[in-house]
């Protein structure tokens, strides 16, 4: 087995995914080849470094998720239960048994019977029948608002129902743009992230730029702010953008956002940027951000502090 | 190397789980809830580690188990329930990762109900307070690891996550992702090479 082949097998060796024969061959080669021995050690170091990155689930998060799931199900998520035999199959069987010998007439007779059944159900289902279908329509999402036992033994349930509509269109469509702008201010962070991302190529429009700058400066969600930063890349030279970037760099609580702001601000050398970075160095606590800012200042032959 | 309980469950459905599935298929709500509780911790851990965002992990959890709820009647016991469930979960996570590919979402700090926390806080800060050089090195290593992971394709990231952190076998991973064991091996190799390339002299 040569070095190329062993290199390919080292990760699989580490994860115990080789056959015993393959393991023996790798063992033998690594024992004799110093370079592959180093590669094996690097694999172990990589795995050890990545092990330290493992993230635990925050306390109570699992219970919260379970509660939310069960609440969503209780709120009326439609579900198909596996029946022994479907109602249609049972109905047809019953019809077939009743009209045995009238095979040709089965369908028309069944149709007439269904119409009759519908008429009778509508005619005679009075106060005793539920006034709403127990299983909501796919596009209607129900939440139980109140449940009340009535004196006659029945139960009155109040539902809040939300109807979902889908709209498809091109980004250039003004109606679609209107919804995207509204989406960038939605209370759901996931909707804001997607909407802000879609504004990326519309940053030349005043409304879109306003929304992006607003998201970058004020959105509480890190993902949305990062997305807004990404969307602002093509217009990083715009004076309004530069001004907001400077403010965000000095005020944003998230070091990852600050790092990316630096990336965006330093695409071209500018004395005002030097000033902002020097100002940042006076107050920045995060070592990663300090490192990045100091590197830029060094590259630009600017002093790290202000004098 | 991390080994998750899900890996042990993955190979075969236990008789108890089998009974739970059949009861839940018949409409037994308690059985469905027990079924969820059997698997949901590993699902949430996968989503958290992969997406590094409690908000997104919650969405994956909810969406995955609602799909299970809606489609459990279609489960035919022709693969393990764990594999079937993970096909759903990995599909949702891959969609999320693909959406994120257009943005650099790996912020170092994430919002939780307990306030902002550093995503990498599980990193050991060995004597960092007394050794600024060491602390700087740790910070740089963290950043490199994040960069390395962002550089993987969603599929490479998924294979790596399932193998390294969830401890699943590559054969099972291939089955979950609708591909072969060989393809999963290649994916793992590419992921490892890319990460070693980015981490360079740090490992």
- Give pLDDT, residue A152: 87
What 8-state DSSP symbol labels residue A56? Answer: P
Cα-atom radius of gyration of chain B, to the nearest Å? 19
Residue in chain B nearest A69 by alpha carbon: B62
Closest of A202, A217, A297 to residue A254, by C-alpha: A217
What 3-state class would DSSP assign to A185?
coil
Question: Which of the two residues, B42 and B117, has the higher pLDDT score?
Answer: B42
> In the predicted model, is pLDDT for residue B5 greater than 60?
no
- Give pLDDT, residue B179: 92
The mean pLDDT value for A180-190 works out to 82
The mean pLDDT value for B140-146 works out to 83
> In the predicted model, is pLDDT for residue B110 greater than 70?
no
Contacts for B31 with CB less than 8 Å, ≥ 6 apart: B19, B20, B21, B23, B24
- Give pLDDT, residue B156: 95
pLDDT digits (tens, 9 = 90+) for A104-141: 555 555 566 556 655 555 555 444 444 444 444 456 77
The mean pLDDT value for B16-33 works out to 93
> In the predicted model, is pLDDT for residue B116 greater than 50?
no
Sequence-ordered strand ranges (E) for chain B: 109-112, 115-118
Size of interface A-B (CB pairs under 8 A): 167
pLDDT winner (highest mean) among A2-6, A46-50, A87-91, A181-185: A2-6
- State the Cα–Cα distance between residues A26 and A291, nearest whole angstrom: 42
The mean pLDDT value for A269-279 works out to 84
Cα-atom radius of gyration of chain A, to the nearest Å? 33
Q: What percent of chain B has pLDDT over 90?
A: 54
- Give pLDDT, residue A106: 53
- State the Cα–Cα distance between residues B39 and B123, nearest whole angstrom: 27
Q: What share of chain A is helix, strand, coil (3-state, %, to 5)?
A: 65, 5, 30
pLDDT-derived band at A223 (thresholds 50, 70, 90) equals confident
CB contact under 8 A, B73 and A80: yes
What pTM did the predictor assign? 0.50
Q: Rounded to 5 degrees, what angle do the CA atoms A298, A300, A304 make?
A: 45
> In the predicted model, is pLDDT for residue B19 greater than 90?
yes
- Give pLDDT, residue A117: 59
Please give, rounded to a whole number of angstroms, the shortest distance from the CA of B60 to a CA of chain A. Answer: 10
Closest of B190, B122, B119, B194 to residue B159, by C-alpha: B190
Please give, rounded to a whole number of angstroms, the shortest distance from the CA of B15 to a CA of chain A. Answer: 20
CB contact under 8 A, B145 and A53: yes
Query: Is residue A198 a contact partner of residue A171, using CB atoms and an 8 Å limit?
Result: yes
The mean pLDDT value for B100-129 works out to 48
CB contact under 8 A, B41 and A57: yes
**Mean pLDDT across chain A, nearest whole number?**
79
The mean pLDDT value for B34-59 works out to 92
- Give pLDDT, residue A3: 92
B142-157 in b/e form (b: 16+ CB < 10 A) is bbbbbebbeebbbbbb
Pairing between β-strand B115-118 and β-strand B109-112 as defined by DSSP bridges: antiparallel
Minimum mean pLDDT range among A52-66, A260-274, B5-19: B5-19
Minimum mean pLDDT range among A178-182, A201-205, A291-295: A201-205
- For A:142-171, CB contacts with B below 8 A are none
- Give pLDDT, residue A276: 87
- State the Cα–Cα distance between residues A260 and A266, nearest whole angstrom: 10
What is the ipTM for the molecules in this complex? 0.79
> In the predicted model, is pLDDT for residue A298 greater than 90?
no
pLDDT-derived band at A75 (thresholds 50, 70, 90) equals confident
CA distances from B153 to A62, A92, A192 (A): 28, 52, 24
- For A:237-256, CB contacts with B below 8 A are 253-256
Closest of A52, A17, A50, A40 to residue B161, by C-alpha: A50
Please give, rounded to a whole number of angstroms, the shortest distance from the CA of A53 to a CA of chain B. Answer: 6
> In the predicted model, is pLDDT for residue A80 greater than 80?
no
> In the predicted model, is pLDDT for residue B175 greater than 90?
yes
- Give pLDDT, residue A172: 81
What 3-state class would DSSP assign to A8?
helix
pLDDT winner (highest mean) among A193-197, B147-151, B184-188: B184-188
């Amino acid at each position: 087995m040569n070095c190329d082949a062993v290199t390919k097998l080292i990760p699989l060796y580490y994860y115990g995914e080789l056959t015993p024969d393959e393991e023996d061959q790798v063992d033998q080669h690594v024992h004799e080849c110093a370079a592959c021995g180093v590669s094996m050690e690097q694999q172990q170091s990589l795995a050890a470094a990545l092990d330290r990155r493992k993230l635990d689930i925050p306390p109570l998060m699992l219970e919260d998720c379970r509660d939310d799931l069960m609440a969503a199900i209780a709120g009326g998520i439609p579900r198909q239960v596996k029946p022994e035999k479907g109602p249609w199959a049972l109905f047809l069987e019953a019809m077939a048994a009743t009209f045995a010998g009238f095979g040709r007439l089965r369908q028309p007779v069944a149709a007439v019977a269904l119409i009759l059944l519908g008429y009778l159900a509508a005619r005679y289902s009075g106060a005793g029948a539920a006034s709403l279908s127990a299983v909501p329509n796919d596009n209607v999402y129900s939440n139980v608002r109140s449940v009340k036992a009535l004196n006659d033994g029945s139960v009155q349930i109040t539902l809040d129902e939300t109807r979902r509509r889908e709209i498809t269109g091109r980004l250039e469509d003004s109606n679609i743009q209107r919804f995207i702008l509204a989406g960038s201010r939605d209370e759901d962070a996931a909707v804001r992230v997607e909407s802000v991302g879609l504004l990326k190529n519309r940053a030349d429009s005043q409304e879109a730029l306003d929304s992006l700058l607003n998201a970058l400066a004020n959105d509480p969600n890190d993902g949305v702010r990062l997305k807004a930063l990404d969307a602002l890349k093509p217009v990083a030279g715009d004076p309004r953008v530069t001004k907001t970037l400077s403010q965000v760099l000095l005020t944003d609580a998230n070091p990852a956002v600050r790092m990316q702001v630096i990336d965006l601000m330093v695409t071209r050398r500018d004395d005002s940027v030097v000033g902002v970075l020097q100002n940042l160095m006076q107050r920045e606590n995060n070592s990663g951000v300090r490192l990045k800012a100091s590197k830029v200042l060094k590259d630009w032959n600017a002093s790290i502090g202000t004098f | 190397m991390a080994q998750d309980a899900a890996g042990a469950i993955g190979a075969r459905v236990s008789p108890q789980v089998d009974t739970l599935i059949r009861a839940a298929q018949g409409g037994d709500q308690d059985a469905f809830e027990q079924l969820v509780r059997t698997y949901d911790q590993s699902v949430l851990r996968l989503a958290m580690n992969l997406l590094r965002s409690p908000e997104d992990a919650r969405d994956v959890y909810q969406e995955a188990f609602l799909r299970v709820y809606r489609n459990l009647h279609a489960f035919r016991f022709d693969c393990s329930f764990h594999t079937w469930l993970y096909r759903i979960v990995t599909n949702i996570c891959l969609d999320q990762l693909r959406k994120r590919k257009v943005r650099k979402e790996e912020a170092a700090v994430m919002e939780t109900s307990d306030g902002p926390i550093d995503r990498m806080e599980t990193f050991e800060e060995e004597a960092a307070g007394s050794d600024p050089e060491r602390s700087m090195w740790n910070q740089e290593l963290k950043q490199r690891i994040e960069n390395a992971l962002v550089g993987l394709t969603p599929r490479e990231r998924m294979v790596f996550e399932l193998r390294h952190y969830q401890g699943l076998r590559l054969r099972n991973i291939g089955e979950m992702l609708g591909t072969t064991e060989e393809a999963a091996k290649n994916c793992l190799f590419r992921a490892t090479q890319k990460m070693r390339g980015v981490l360079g002299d740090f490992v």
